[in-house]
A and B are shown apart, each in its own frame.
Chain A
């Protein structure tokens, strides 16, 4: 639907403060962007003053810097070091506990801790897509992950459309932005111009409508609607990066033995930063701990990276020993085999893996190089 077909409203900055207050009053933990330690991070917000008004970011491969902005915008920044998976699919969760009784009998009990009822303020369209992708991975198959479901079902999502893409952004290539797709409770578009600093709002759910009804909003005027639409459309033309215009699933499948993997392996440190920063990377390992009595054990799960040698451990040794094979696993999974496994790409074009790579490896540059090698007929795949 276009903005003209949906009832839209306009909030000013006080309205954004009221949005946070209403969500807090509804018992929610409000998480959004805020400036901390030289970056725009995601953290609990107590009021609108915590938002990064007047801050933007300068991004490049291996580079992230805060930059002051004169327009005072709150959401004129693209992805930071974290993503919402930190909250929905936390780095560490206790899955269950086991008690051993006097006769050796075991009782295993699911972790019963009640997760917070989150409200996420400032979900960028790429990250909204990333949440939908993790929904499919962690709840869309035969089994649902209880830790994720508990957090996800309670979460209230306030998307903010993108009007200021970074130099490492390529959401247009991945079809995930800069306009917000489905899945939000409320969607905002920030407009700063001669008519003031304001936010066009539309609701995407019944709860979104109910929250909006409590806010000091006014009916959207045509000028604000037009300005918001134009800013998002202009953002689409200012992507810093793009993917080759080929079927990436096919490209990944057909270039498994490309020489380019050796080239990137010579640069890759296999540090796993890209997997930690990626909003869709979901892999985990488990560990078991016992207390001093030895009769109380816990099962914990933590984020894991496919760049770790032990990730593919078998009794005969790691399946993916070389850095070549580990980078290839990550990239081909993200862009290719994710389609086979979960019905979509695993990449949303947020650019985090490019920014947070310590040596500036750029997945779009690697994809272009693979495509050139493939088109030259040098690479071979699995068929």
Chain B
């Protein structure tokens, strides 16, 4: 048998839910043998028949089922967003580093998401909620461009019972009653001890930089800030070269890296 890292395995779409105007969540079930188990933060290469494959973080792991939230930004992601139950895709993986939540045992947790960046953080939040005795206080801080861009609004409400969940938008509409501003403005109201906290950050690069810098100023150690970075990927296996960020191959050394490693690299323009 060929390694599932090289040739995709068939998966079938069992559900589709529109999240926003350009984003949908699909649940995939193996049509035959399953891939090895995924950890939160890892990604799959998901293949739309005849169109191509793109890296998608897992945003839900339920037995052998994989959940992905996909935003239509190109031909492949548009084809994946348009999938309906019964459709078939190919999946390779799991690839990349995970969030490493177990290493944060005993710490207060800061989950900071911008836009679609909440998707890869969702399985981390679910894992932390499932084992609250292992961790300190759980904070989920979410920013979005507009209220209509907020992912998983019902779940965010549900998490409030066991976590401090704060949301903000860049531009409010007439119905929005909450915060307006960038996600870092929520940090003042998060409950955490900066000297024993681990942060997990995903979103656009400027948001990652602003959040990590803010956290460092508040006393969080850079190696306890984990950020998930994005570069284009064609293989997932470290062979195509597209996902380089200086010394890192993000499909292999990432997508989750510590701020200690990422900071100096993100300071260099067009690295």
Contacts and interface: CB of A to CB of B under 8 A. Distances in A.
A143 B7 contact: no
Interface string B1-38: 01101111110100000000000000000010000000
Interface string B239-271: 111101011110010000000000011011111
B74 interface: yes
Given A304-B240, A314-B230, A333-B244, 12 more contacts: A104-B88, A108-B7, A143-B238, A143-B239, A256-B268, A286-B235, A286-B240, A288-B50, A301-B240, A306-B244, A325-B270, A337-B246
B51 interface: yes
Interface in A90-124: 95-96, 98, 100, 104-110
Interface of B: 2-3, 5-10, 12, 31, 47, 49-53, 73-74, 86-90, 204, 230-232, 234-235, 237-242, 244, 246-249, 252, 264-265, 267-271
Interface of A: 95-96, 98, 100, 104-110, 137-138, 141-143, 145-146, 256-257, 282-290, 294, 297, 301, 304, 306, 311-316, 319-322, 324-325, 329, 332-333, 336-337, 340-341, 382-383
A146 B248 CA distance: 23
B10 A319 contact: no
A312 B232 contact: yes
B146 to A, nearest CB: 18
Contact of B238 (A100, A142, A287, A314): A142
Q: Which 8 A-B pairs have the closest CB atoms?
A: A340-B247, A283-B241, A325-B270, A382-B264, A143-B237, A315-B73, A290-B50, A110-B2
Contacts of A286: 52-53, 234-235, 240
Nearest to B242: A311
A108 B45 CA distance: 14
A145 B237 contact: yes
Given A141-B238, A304-B240, A104 B87 contact: yes
Nearest to B268: A256
Which secondary structure characterizes the binding site on chain A?
Answer: mixed
Contact of A108 (B90, B241, B248): B90
A105 B10 contact: yes
Contacts of A297: 49-50
B52 A288 contact: yes
Given A106-B90, A325-B270, A142 B252 contact: yes
23 contacts: A98-B47, A100-B88, A106-B31, A106-B88, A106-B89, A106-B90, A108-B10, A110-B2, A143-B3, A145-B239, A146-B2, A256-B268, A256-B271, A282-B241, A284-B234, A285-B234, A285-B242, A286-B52, A312-B242, A315-B73, A319-B271, A340-B246, A341-B249
Contacts of B265: 382
A329 B238 contact: no
Contact of B7 (A96, A301, A315): A96
A104 B267 CA distance: 47
B8 to A, nearest CB: 5
Nearest to B88: A106
B231 A312 contact: yes
Nearest to A249: B247
B88 A110 contact: no
Nearest to B244: A333
> Most B CB atoms within 10 A — which of A100, A312, A332, A340?
A312
A95 B88 contact: no
Nearest to A100: B49
A95 B244 contact: no
A324 B267 CA distance: 16
Contacts of B31: 105-106
Contacts of B50: 98, 288-290, 294, 297
A335 B81 CA distance: 41
A304 B47 CA distance: 20
Contacts of A108: 7-10, 47, 90
A325 B269 contact: yes
A110 B247 CA distance: 31
> Most B CB atoms within 10 A — which of A98, A110, A289?
A98
A108 B88 CA distance: 11
Contacts of B230: 314
B268 A109 contact: no
A314 B234 CA distance: 12
B237 A315 contact: no
Nearest to B71: A315
Nearest to B249: A341
Contact of B247 (A105, A106, A311, A341): A341
B261 to A, nearest CB: 10
A98 B7 CA distance: 10
A320 B270 contact: yes
A316 B8 CA distance: 28
A137 B235 CA distance: 13
A200 B86 CA distance: 66
Contacts of B267: 382
